[in-house]
């Protein structure tokens, strides 16, 4: 059996490791997203306040086998490009809304 996959997917035995890009608001607010997996599209709920690099485990959603593998999703928060005046204003509003929030650097 030959399995063809993209660079964001790694397979170890029956387990599938996949990096999935999400928007900042999906990570902060929590959201349901659709993830394309080797077995098809899967609805996944992103927990509120998720951080980039966080991992989600979906038991039994890896490679189907006598004992099905698990699907491990690594969240990658991607900022959308600023391509309009409205987007610029939205980022400025975020900047002001979180002015007193410390970010560890």
pTM: 0.81
Listed range (10-19, 30-39, 54-63) with the worst mean pLDDT: 30-39
Per-residue model confidence (pLDDT) at position 15: 93
Per-residue model confidence (pLDDT) at position 5: 57
Per-residue model confidence (pLDDT) at position 105: 65
- Sorted by where each starts, the structural domains of the chain and their CATH numbers stand as 9-80 (2.60.260.20)
Per-chain mean pLDDT for the chain: 89
List, as one string, the DSSP characters of the chain: ------TTEEEETTEEEEEEEE-HHHHHH-EEEEEEETTEEEEEEEPTT--TT-EEEETT-SS-SSS---EEEEEEE-PPP--SHHHHHHHHHHHHHTTT-----
Q: Would you say 71 and 16 are in contact if contact means Cβ atoms under 8 Å apart? A: yes
Instruction: Tell me the per-residue pLDDT of 59-105, one tens digit each, with 9 for 90 and over.
Output: 999 888 888 899 999 999 999 999 999 999 999 998 899 888 867 66
Q: How many helices (H) and strands (E) does the chain have?
A: 2, 6
């Amino acid at each position: 059996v030959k399995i063809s996959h993209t660079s964001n997917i790694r397979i170890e035995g029956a387990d599938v490791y996949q990096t999935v890009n999400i928007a900042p608001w999906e990570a902060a607010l929590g959201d349901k997203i659709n993830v394309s997996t080797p077995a098809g599209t899967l609805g996944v709920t992103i927990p509120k306040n998720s951080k980039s690099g966080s991992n989600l485990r979906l038991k039994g959603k890896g490679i189907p086998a006598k004992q099905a593998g698990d699907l491990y999703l690594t969240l990658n928060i991607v900022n959308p490009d600023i391509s309009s005046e409205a987007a610029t204003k939205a980022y400025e509003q975020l900047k002001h809304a979180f002015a007193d929030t410390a970010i560890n650097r």
